[in-house]
């Protein structure tokens, strides 16, 4: 499967499990004019493809940590992160989000299940 098909499979899984998720279609523009317009409106290169806006509490060493949500950058099995994607994952992680790169739908679904502590 290509990256598009892998991402669609993740969306289908989340829909089936009633998991709140949406795509951030950074690469959807068709022309330089459209790209400029979207950039003016706040498009940022490297922002992950998917976001699950559900927070959770994690207990670590006698403290409670809040994870604000889960960002997923989808890649094909052989895909690689760009520098801007690496930067965004690092920035989002520092801000209290879980931000990861997943190579394929199976890996993304595993991460989602772990995030929600689901046993599917």
| Residue 103, both tokens | 């190579």
Residue 90's CATH number: 3.40.1350.10
pLDDT at 120 over 60: no
pLDDT tens-place string over residues 90-108? 999 999 999 999 999 999 9
84 domain residue, yes or no: yes
| Residue 22, both tokens | 């949406």
- Residue 19 sits in which domain range? 3-115
67 domain residue, yes or no: yes
87, 58 contact by CB (below 8 A): no
Q: How many domains does the chain have?
A: 1
**Overall pTM > 0.85:** yes
74 domain residue, yes or no: yes
pLDDT tens-place string over residues 53-99? 999 999 888 999 999 999 999 999 899 999 999 999 999 999 999 99
The closest of 35, 52, 49, 48 to 4, measured between CA atoms, is: 49
111 domain residue, yes or no: yes
């Amino acid at each position: 499967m290509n990256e598009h098909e892998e991402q669609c499979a993740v969306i289908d899984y989340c829909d089936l499990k009633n998991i709140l998720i949406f795509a951030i279609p950074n690469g959807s523009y068709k022309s330089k004019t459209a790209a400029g317009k979207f950039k003016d409106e706040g498009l940022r290169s490297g922002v992950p493809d998917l976001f699950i806006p559900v927070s959770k509490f994690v207990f670590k060493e006698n403290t409670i940590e809040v994870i604000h949500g889960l960002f997923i950058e989808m890649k094909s099995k052989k895909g690689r992160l760009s520098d801007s994607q690496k930067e965004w994952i690092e920035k989002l992680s520092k801000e209290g989000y879980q931000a990861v790169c997943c190579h394929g739908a199976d890996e993304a679904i595993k991460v989602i299940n772990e995030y929600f502590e689901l046993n599917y």
